[in-house]
A = this chain, B = another copy of it.
Amino acid sequence: MADAPERALATPAPTQTDATEARHQARMARKKAVIDQKIAAAKTERGVVLVHTGPGKGKSTAAFGLLARALGHGLRAVVVQFVKGRSDTGEEAFFRRQANVTWVVSGEGFTWETQSRARDVAAAEAGWHAAETALADPTVGLVVLDELNIVLKYRYLPLERVLTALANRPAMQHVVITGRGAPPELLAAADTVTEMRLVKHAFQAGVAAMPGVEF
């Protein structure tokens, strides 16, 4: 009650909600202008090469998410899995049920499971044959080359063959390449590169590989 006269004298201030809303609106209008300008500047329509690398989780799953996205737009897709740890993955079961996807598995398992370089090289060659066919087919809108970076890292395939096939592919075709340790020449050739950084992983806390999450 003591400060009532002062209150009465004061010019009615805008409520906090109004002020917050106005500030928010001004800030967002500035942000929208910047973003709209950037969008207007990006006009080229063509196929892109994406690389998902780094030690964190999400490299292959982001490729499978892109696959779902592409299928939703009616694109045809080919997936080649170069190094495959297990044969009971959710993604394979799921996408094999879908139309417009060809799913090829070339590897027998992680390279530390086969323990034979000769067998790994033969598997990589077989996978690359399927990949090259897809990369020459203009009816294929998206090619997923899962764990190709591992194959390149162990030199199971010559990098030059991969770079040549990417450079000569149909103009509107998108390609996603996943796996740790992508070679610098591939990063240079790619349009979009994300490094999945490992902040933490449930595995480190003793959680088993859960179906639906890890495979």
Query: Do residues A32 and B213 form an inter-chain contact, with CB atoms below 8 A?
Result: no
So how many copies of this chain end up in the complex? Answer: 2
Bound-state CA distance A91–B69 (Å) is 4
Q: Provide the residues of chain B in CB contact with A198, threshold 8 Å.
A: 194
Query: Do residues A48 and B94 form an inter-chain contact, with CB atoms below 8 A?
Result: no
A32's closest neighbor in chain B, by CB? B112
Is A159 an interface residue when CB atoms closer than 8 A count as contact?
A: no
Is A7 an interface residue when CB atoms closer than 8 A count as contact?
A: no
Is A108 an interface residue when CB atoms closer than 8 A count as contact?
A: no
Q: Provide the residues of chain B in CB contact with A200, threshold 8 Å.
A: 187, 190-193
Is A170 an interface residue when CB atoms closer than 8 A count as contact?
A: no
Max count, chain B CB within 10 A of own CB: residue among A21, A65, A206: A65
Q: Provide the residues of chain B in CB contact with A113, threshold 8 Å.
A: 32
Would you mind naming 11 contact pairs between A and B with Cβ atoms under 8 Å apart?
Answer: A42-B208, A42-B209, A44-B205, A64-B69, A66-B212, A69-B89, A69-B213, A73-B93, A75-B212, A192-B202, A196-B197
Given A191-B202, A193-B200; 18 other pairs, CB 8 A cutoff: A17-B118, A32-B113, A42-B206, A42-B207, A50-B57, A50-B213, A58-B196, A61-B65, A64-B68, A68-B94, A69-B94, A69-B215, A72-B90, A72-B92, A190-B200, A191-B207, A194-B196, A196-B197
